Amino acid sequence: MLLRFSLENWMSFRDAVSFSMIASQERQHGDRIAKVNKYQMRVLPIAAIYGGNASGKTNFFKALNFAKNLIIKGTQPDGIINVETFQLDDSYKYDKPSRFSFELLINEIIYEFSFSLVRNLIVEEKLVQLSSYSEKILYHRLECKPNFDTAIDNDQSLHFAFKGTRDNQLFLTNSVSQKIDAFRPIYDWFKNTLELVAPDSRFSSFEHFLNEEHPLFSSMNTMLTQLDTGITHLGGETLSFENVSLPESLKSKLREELTEGMTVLLLNSSRNERFVITRKNAELIIKKLVTYHRKTDGSEVKFEMRQESDGSQRVIDLLPAFVELSSVDSKRVYIIDEVDRSLHTLLTRHLLEYFLSTCTPESRSQLLFTTHDALIMDQKLLRRDEMWVAERGPMGVSNLTPLSDFKDVRYDKDIRKSYLLGRLGGIPNISPFYSKSNRGRIDGC
């Protein structure tokens, strides 16, 4: 689980900002809050970030995405780290490092992983294991020098891996590539647990809709019929590999590199087609995702994905995430930017209610999302500490504030009106403008 995330000098976030998923003392919706008895801690299953355009919501999402890619994919030798600093102050743009810090619950153990960097150098990197009463620094990298915990300092493989770590590379990343397992749980959390879904991304797990044996197949198709898309179910149309509309260069690569039992997912963006390709019994088997609708006579008709509305396609993209989050043993953490894009408010709310209805004190999955939809800023749905406001100040600096920090936000108050009136921040500051003839004033809305 994600407990805290802090960042500094990243895009519009000039100053240090901390985002927390640790529950406050309020009792509202307490039955769904995860309990970590070992640390006497309660952790939120969900968080929503509201804010106007250019308030910093997407920059927050991009910070998480940047950190994940830096940890998992790493950097090229002598390559530049593509860190995006605060551009409106030259001292931050050129001289000060960007900082990122994560506090994570992994297998009921809390770790704090942090690093700071400039475009050509990891300035500092630190991994700490926390107990309920103390902390143990597993390693601390500062000024290109390592400091390991005494219990592992005699492990020469760690020192060997550190010597082979480039200045522009995280030691965590290189240690895993050198097959050192001491810090792998943290690396694996970023690789396998943290999932980020951008507004224009097509969710990668659509193959669940093609495999009737997948444990989520039935749940997803059942839920799809409840969301008023007109789709009765999804399925896979088997095609001839030689006749499918893919570039010949890609086909050649698949013939050469796809080994027995291996499966790949492909998206043909120009035609909005999604394929699953598997090599089975030496043959390449390709299936295309299609939808089915019911005709007036009760029979079914097949639709291509490009025939579906953008809203229906967005549902198909997001549904695997919500169903997976809601499964009993899930430990996934999904970050969805603009969860409400192309979705009706009631549909968005239904998806959120579906996930929250499955949350218990034993749950370990989480959903964080950004949104413009003020209609789901509702205390019947979300707690005050689950709702955050992103706001960009007059100097172009973004900040994040939970609604639980506002003293006048009572647990029984309809907070949407206060938000839309600007009392909580995070709304566009639109100036009045005039028509070209200057004959009449038009107020911004």
Per-residue pLDDT tens over the stretch 38-72:
999 999 999 999 998 899 999 999 999 999 999 99
Share of the chain above pLDDT 90, in %: 62
- Could you give the 3-state DSSP secondary structure of residue 291? strand
CA 5 → CA 67, 187, 251, 411, distances in Å? Answer: 11, 16, 42, 26
What's the mean pLDDT when you consider all of the chain? 89
pLDDT at 6 over 90: yes
Q: Which residue has the higher pLDDT, 274 or 337?
A: 337
pLDDT at 36 over 50: yes
| pLDDT-based confidence at residue 443 (cuts at 50, 70, 90) | very low
- Could you give the 3-state DSSP secondary structure of residue 255? helix
Q: CA 138 to CA 371: how far, in whole Å?
A: 37
Domain ranges of the chain: 1-200+321-445, 204-320
CB 51: neighbour CB atoms within 10 A? 25
CA 74 → CA 61, 62, 67, distances in Å? Answer: 19, 16, 10
Q: Tokens 């020469």 — which residue?
A: 156
Contact call for residues 117 and 83 (beta carbons, < 8 A):
yes
At residue 419, the pLDDT reads: 79
- Predicted TM-score (pTM) of the model is 0.89
pLDDT at 242 over 90: no
| Axis crossing angle, helix 345-356 with helix 310-326, rounded to the nearest 10 | 10
Task: Name residue 48's beta-bridge partners.
Answer: 369, 387
398-402 β-sheet, strand order: 194-197, 333-336, 366-371, 46-50, 387-392, 398-402
Tell me the residue type at 169.
Answer: Q
CATH number of 1-200+321-445: 3.40.50
- Could you give the 3-state DSSP secondary structure of residue 128? strand
| pLDDT-based confidence at residue 199 (cuts at 50, 70, 90) | confident
Task: Name residue 113's beta-bridge partners.
Answer: 102, 127
At residue 429, the pLDDT reads: 66
pLDDT at 234 over 80: yes
